[in-house]
């Protein structure tokens, strides 16, 4: 019976130690359990006498079991390794003369590794990775503008402006003498002034004029006129009337540009210039032809150069002339104005010589097959203005303008797109491009007929339509008959 009780006590002790080991075993993934240093073996005392009674053995066994349970609870609460004490053998299981051998100690629990070991950190994360991960750092966050500025400075360090060096101290240079060849910073050649340059230009022009067969005196006179013109324009010593006519510009720029065409290209021959009155108002009525209205310019220049009084004809033009860039400005400065009765009456009141071309664009745009055939003269507005002012009407006939650009066809669609009255096709245009606009060198004849007086009519004659029609038809027939006569007298188109 005593042996059975000892066996039960040993089994209970082993079970208590196993439970204590399970509670102190770490879980998977937790830190490994450090083995505690081996405790010193308890001092064994000699066994009690074999004569111990049943009550004493039972009381000792119960006390040891309670001690083991308290130690187990304390170990589980503090999670520290505990040393399992070896239970003393029960004296009843061994004879009284021999000591009871100790129970075998439980095997030591090996340390366990983590299930997934943590990676070793070899470098610190970058600021951008920390920002992208959402972690906040101790540094203040930069604004987008400051960040862009710093990025630009880091990418383009060569664009940083360096501090300018201090300006060098210049030493006062001695005055230069153009006659000294070894002067510092100056060549030995003298610098010519404006007078020397003009004299050199005049000498060169005289040499060129002599080589071309022109009198050197004419060259000097032209150079003097140009210099005088420039001086007056710079000083503002010129006048412009309320129509925009600039006499100084016309005399020194506009007419000189037309004279080469008048004298050498078209070789204009003027007849009947004495029919132009020397003073007072008058109305010059002429035919109109030539695709490009050069006949009006040649008539104006012929009156100025060939007439003894060098009168200026104030031409009346269509609205399209003054709406065209550059052409309208040149026309205003040269004395032309709009073809209206009001402007004509104002010019007659000043005693000006007025020129009108009643055919208009119908005359300049007619085909070459209808050359020198006058078109309709309108409603006779020019005759009404002459009757109201009481000025004579001077018919004018121009031969040679029809051949400078013969019209073979008309590009009507292009003319409508450009807003022009016609777009001509000539033997040279548009085949030669801009060169096709150069007029052919035909021979011109300009004849001024006998003036038709208007002073003998009664007051209010300008409002009589029958009288206006008769005078208009008379002027038209006079010009037409003169054209036929000049065509018969002309030897050749170009000679």
Is there a single domain that holds both residue 474 and residue 333?
Answer: yes
Residue 172 forms part of a structural domain: no
Q: Is the pLDDT higher at 246 or at 113? A: 246
89: Cα within 13 Å, side-chain hemisphere: 20
Report residue 450's pLDDT band, with 50, 70 and 90 as the boundaries: very high
Q: Are 354 and 348 in contact (CB under 8 A)?
A: yes
The DSSP symbol for 184 reads: T
Choosing from 202, 218, 237, the residue where a domain stops is: 237
Residue 328: its pLDDT value, please?
A: 92
Mean pLDDT of the region 25-34:
51
Asked if residue 466 and residue 330 are part of one domain, the reply reads: yes
165 part of a folded domain: no
* Percent of the chain surpassing pLDDT 70: 64
Predicted local distance difference test score (pLDDT) of residue 33 = 47
Cα angle 32, 38, 40; round to 5: 155
**What's the pLDDT score for residue 115?**
58
Do 448 and 308 sit in the same domain of this protein? yes
Cα separation, 118 vs 95, whole angstroms: 58
Does 303 lie in the same domain as 445?
A: yes
Q: How would you classify residue 27: left for phi > 0, otherwise alpha for psi between -120 and 50, otherwise beta?
A: beta
Is 319 part of any domain?
A: yes
Q: Secondary structure of 243-279 in the HEC alphabet?
A: CCCEHHHHHHHHHHHHHHHHHHHCCCEEECHHHCCCC
Are 306 and 376 in contact by the 8 Å Cβ rule? The answer is no
Provide the pLDDT confidence category of residue 216 given band limits of 50, 70 and 90. Answer: confident
Do 355 and 449 sit in the same domain of this protein? yes
* Res. 295 pLDDT band, cuts 50 70 90: very high
Boundary of a domain, candidates 221, 237, 253: 237
Buried b (16+ CB within 10 A) or exposed e, 452-477: bebeeeeeebbeeeebbeebbeebbe
- Quote the domain boundaries for residue 199: 194-237
pLDDT at 395 over 60: yes
SS3 of 438, please? coil
Residue 267 has pLDDT above 90, yes or no: yes
Pick 246 or 458 by higher pLDDT: 246
Q: Are residues 282 and 388 in the same domain?
A: yes
At residue 374, the pLDDT reads 94
The string of pLDDT tens digits covering residues 303-361 is 999 999 999 999 999 999 999 999 999 999 999 999 998 999 999 999 999 999 999 99
Q: Which of 440, 357, 337, 360 is nearest to 398 (CA)?
A: 357
147 in any annotated domain: no
Residue that has been written with the tokens 């027939």 in this structure: 477
Q: Based on the fold, state whether residues 371 and 255 are members of the same structural domain.
A: yes
Using the predicted structure, report yes or no on whether residue 182 has a pLDDT greater than 60.
no
Do 310 and 322 lie in one domain? The reply is yes
Give the least confident one: 135-139, 177-181, 383-387.
Answer: 177-181
In a domain, 374, yes or no: yes
**Total domains in the fold of the chain:** 2
pLDDT over 90, % of the chain:
44
C-alpha distances in Å from residue 463, one per residue of 15, 76, 383, 458: 150, 139, 10, 11
Domain boundary among 237, 269, 304: 237
The per-residue pLDDT for range 66-113, each reduced to its tens digit, is: 556 554 554 444 444 434 444 444 444 444 444 555 555 555 555 565
280 and 342 in a common domain: yes
Same domain, 274 and 315: yes
Tell me the CATH number at 378.
Answer: 3.40.1130.10
Helix axes 465-489, 381-389, angle to 10 degrees: 110
Taking residues 60-65, what's their average pLDDT?
51
The reply to whether 323 and 460 lie within a common domain is: yes
**Residue 214 and residue 249 in one domain:** no
What pLDDT sits at residue 53? 42
- Of 489, 484, 284, nearest to 394 (Cα)? 284
Asked if residue 34 is part of any domain, the answer here is: no
Do the Cβ atoms of 492 and 443 come closer than 8 Å? yes
In a domain, 482, yes or no: yes
Query: Does residue 142 fall inside a structural domain?
Result: no
pLDDT at 137 over 60: no
Going by the DSSP 8-state scheme, the letter that residue 156 receives in this structure is -
For the stretch 153-176, pLDDT in tens is 776 555 555 566 677 666 655 555
């Amino acid at each position: 019976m005593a042996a059975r009780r000892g066996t039960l006590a040993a089994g209970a002790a082993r079970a208590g130690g196993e439970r204590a080991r399970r509670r102190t075993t770490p879980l998977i993934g937790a830190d490994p359990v450090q083995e505690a240093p081996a405790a010193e073996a308890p001092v064994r005392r000699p066994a009690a006498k074999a004569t111990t009674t049943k009550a004493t053995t039972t009381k000792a066994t119960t006390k040891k079991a309670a001690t083991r349970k308290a130690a187990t609870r304390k170990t589980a609460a503090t999670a520290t390794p505990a040393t399992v004490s070896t239970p003393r053998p029960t004296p009843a299981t061994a004879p009284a003369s021999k000591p009871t051998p100790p129970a075998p100690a439980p095997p030591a629990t090996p340390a366990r590794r983590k299930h997934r070991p943590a990676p070793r950190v070899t470098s610190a994360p970058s600021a951008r990775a920390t920002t992208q991960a959402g972690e906040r750092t101790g540094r203040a966050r930069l604004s987008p503008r400051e960040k862009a500025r710093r990025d630009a400075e880091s990418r383009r360090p060569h664009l940083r402006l360096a501090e300018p060096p201090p300006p060098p101290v210049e030493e006062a240079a001695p005055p230069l003498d153009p006659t000294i060849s070894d002067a510092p910073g100056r060549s030995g050649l003298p610098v010519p002034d404006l007078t020397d340059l003009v004299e050199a230009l005049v000498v060169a022009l005289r040499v060129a004029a002599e080589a071309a067969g022109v009198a050197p005196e004419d060259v000097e006179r032209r150079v003097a006129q140009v210099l005088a013109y420039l001086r007056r324009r710079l000083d503002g010593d010129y006048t412009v009337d309320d129509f925009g006519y600039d006499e100084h510009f016309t005399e020194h720029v506009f007419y000189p540009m037309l004279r080469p065409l008048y004298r050498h290209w078209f070789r204009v021959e003027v007849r009947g210039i004495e029919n132009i009155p020397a003073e007072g108002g008058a109305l010059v009525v002429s035919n109109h032809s030539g695709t490009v209205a050069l006949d009006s310019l040649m008539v104006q220049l012929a009156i100025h150069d060939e007439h003894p009084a060098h009168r200026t004809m104030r031409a009346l033009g269509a609205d399209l002339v003054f709406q065209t860039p550059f052409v309208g400005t040149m026309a205003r400065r040269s004395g032309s104005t709009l073809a209206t009765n009001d402007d004509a009456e104002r010019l007659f009141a000043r005693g000006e010589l007025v020129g009108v071309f009643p055919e208009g664009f119908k005359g300049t745009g007619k085909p070459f097959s209808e050359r020198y055939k006058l078109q309709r003269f309108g409603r006779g507005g020019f005759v009404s203005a002459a009757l109201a002012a009481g000025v004579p009407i001077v018919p004018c006939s121009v031969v040679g303008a029809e051949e400078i650009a013969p019209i073979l066809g008309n590009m009507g669609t292009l003319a409508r797109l450009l807003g022009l009255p016609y777009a001509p096709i000539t033997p040279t245009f548009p085949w030669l491009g801009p060169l096709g606009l150069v007029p052919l060198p035909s021979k011109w004849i300009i004849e001024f007929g006998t003036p038709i007086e208007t002073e003998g009519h009664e007051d209010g004659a300008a409002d009589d339509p029958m009288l206006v029609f008769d005078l208009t038809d008379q002027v038209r027939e006079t010009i037409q008959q003169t054209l036929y006569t000049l065509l018969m007298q002309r030897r050749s188109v170009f000679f």
